[in-house]
Amino acid sequence: MPLQIQPREKALLRCHPERSFRVILNGVKDSLQVKTSPIDKSRSSMLEYRENTPQKENRMIETLLSKPYRVIDILPEQVPADGPGQYFAVEKYWLEPARLAGLYRRFTDILLKLNCYVDFQVYLPEDDRPVFNPAPEQLASRIISEKKDLLILLPEENALITLNRGDLYMTVYNPPESLLKRLEPLVSAEGLFLRKPAGSDDIWAE
């Protein structure tokens, strides 16, 4: 039976062309690819729904994935599709394994420092259940060595952080002002930028 793409997923695909989104619904896996012009390179979203994840948590994650978001990025603002410069050549440079590993070490340091202040509930596609405040070595290994997709729920902040392997940014969904203030110096200390992409507040608008 083919995967039925719901209106929310269609809206996501319209807003984020040239991106591949893994959608796992009721244990059915599929990969969606849209062939359009590259307009928004700032964000990809990981929608993970596992049968063994409690429905309450699934609903919370689904709700958060539809909320306004910020990105932790190598660039201070989004690159215009028709602007000057050589974005794709620079992106290719950053995606070289050694440089990507260095960037992911920076992401790891941001997350570990943030975890000193807020609780993490970490989800991985292959795990039966989330890990509450994983050991620093475990979290670092998953990001740097194993290069795993991560979905991190911040229950007390009612926020969500995602990192998809191969991306040059992390996404922070529904961040309250207190979380943004906490993140800003941590991100800046790593030479990265916490920014608001264009359209991030109305992604599900019809």
Name the nearest CA neighbour of 195 among 155, 165, 168, 166: 168
Quote the percentage of the chain above a pLDDT of 70: 67
Core vs surface per residue 101-119: b (16+ CB within 10 A) or e? eebbebbbebbbbbbeebe
Residues 29, 15 contacting (CB under 8 angstroms):
no
Residues 167, 48 contacting (CB under 8 angstroms):
no
The structure's pTM equals: 0.72
Residues 3, 198 contacting (CB under 8 angstroms):
no
Residue 9 has pLDDT above 80, yes or no: no
Average pLDDT, integer, range 93-110:
94
- Rounded to an integer, what distance in angstroms lies between the CA atom of residue 2 and that of residue 120? 35
Quote the pLDDT of residue 148: 75
Quote the pLDDT of residue 69: 96
Quote the pLDDT of residue 149: 85
- Rounded to an integer, what distance in angstroms lies between the CA atom of residue 152 and that of residue 132? 10
Quote the pLDDT of residue 191: 97
Q: Domain spans of the chain?
A: 7-195
- Each residue's pLDDT tens digit, 38-75: 223 333 334 443 444 556 777 888 899 999 999 999 99
